[in-house]
Amino acid sequence: MDDHDLSADQALREIGRMRREVRRSENWAGRLFLVAGLAVILYWTAMFLLPDPAPAIAAVLWVALTGASFVYAVRQGVQGAEYRRLEWPVTFAWLATMVGAVLFGGFLLPDEPAGWWVAAALAVALCTAVPPLWAAWWLLRRKAER
Amino acid sequence: MSGNGSHPRHALDPMIHTPVRLSIMAALAAADKVEFRFLRDTIEVSDSLLSKHMLTLEESGYVRVEKAFVGKKPGTWYFLTPTGREAFQAYVATLEKIMKGTPDA
């Protein structure tokens, strides 16, 4: 493109193109929250309800997933404004639900849960997924609307 | 702002109204922060040309730079300053004004 040939129409089209490129690249955060939300349900279900060695395997996989997520996140070339706005509130809400799950598993859940305890354990596992799944829905829905 | 005429094109900010800087500003306006390599690959320019334009925008107060390491690799992130965001919004408003006034623009 030549500097002197840039018309208003071309300029607006280029702005639209860059906007689309940036927003396509921003989707990583929504996908990451989605994976984290689904993974945390499996993690707590394994920790609460499955026999050995499932909890140990879940813990190792969780640490690996956390590490991989961190590497994936820092390698992205775009950080969206929505992601930045949600990042800390969602992190704190998620941390609170995770602490709640730890306390539930450590102090309330019997060693061999049965009946309503199984339902309660599954409900707690689902609760821990609410913050990341909500963030994923919010970010990906906004992308779909654009 | 440039020129003294009454046509809205005279109000187009020359700091933004060049192909490469326009693409940079559009990318930064759509995101919170953007990394150097993403800009280079998306705009399809060389490292040196992009660096030159980034320096111009930085010196004009439109862009802020942040250097950070990703593992052992250095990364350079760019943000729009409030002044830059305001200037870009005004620039887009002027473009829209031109388009409304002259359908063939």
Task: Please list the pLDDT of chain A residue by residue as tens digits (146 residues).
Answer: 444 568 899 999 999 999 888 888 878 889 999 999 999 999 999 999 999 899 999 999 999 999 999 888 878 888 888 888 888 999 999 999 999 999 999 999 888 888 899 999 999 999 999 999 999 999 888 655 55
Rounded to a whole number of angstroms, the distance from the CA of B96 to the nearest CA of chain A is 8
Spatial distance between the Cα atoms of A143 and A19, rounded to a whole number of angstroms? 12
Q: Is residue A3, in this structure, part of any structural domain at all?
A: no
Triad A4, B16, B56: Cα angle to 5°: 105
Specify which residues B78 forms β-bridges with: B34, B65
Q: Is residue A4, in this structure, part of any structural domain at all?
A: no
Tell me, rounded to whole angstroms, the distance of Cα B58 from its chain centroid: 10
- Mark yes or no for CB contact B22/A74 under 8 Å: no
> What is each CA distance from A92 to A80, A113, A142, in whole angstroms?
19, 29, 22
Q: Is residue A118, in this structure, part of any structural domain at all?
A: yes
Mean pLDDT by 10 residues, chain B (105 residues): 62 89 95 91 94 96 88 83 96 91 57
Interface pTM, i.e. ipTM: 0.84
Give the count of domains, chain A.
Answer: 1
Which domains are present in chain B?
A: 11-93 (1.10.10.10)
Q: Is residue A9, in this structure, part of any structural domain at all?
A: no
- Mark yes or no for CB contact A9/B105 under 8 Å: yes
Chain A positions in Cβ-Cβ contact with residue B29 (cut-off 8 Å):
15, 19
Angle between the N-to-C axes of helices A8-49 and A116-145, in degrees from 0 to 180, rounded to the nearest 10: 170
- Chain A residues whose C-beta is within 8 A of a chain B C-beta are 1-3, 6-9, 11-12, 14-15, 17-19, 21-23, 25-26, 74-81, 83-84
Residue A39 is part of which domain span? 26-145
Nearest-CB residue to B31 (from A7, A8, A79)? A79
Q: Edge-to-edge strands of the sheet including B33-35? A: A78-79, B33-35, B73-80, B63-70
**Nearest Cα residue in chain B from A21:** B42
Query: Could you report how far apart the first and last alpha carbons of chain A are, in Å?
Result: 28
Instruction: Give pLDDT, residue B70.
Output: 66
Q: Is residue A93, in this structure, part of any structural domain at all?
A: yes
Q: Is residue A17, in this structure, part of any structural domain at all?
A: no
- Mark yes or no for CB contact A6/B18 under 8 Å: yes
Q: Is residue A130, in this structure, part of any structural domain at all?
A: yes
Q: Is B65 helix (H, G, I), strand (E, B) or coil?
A: strand
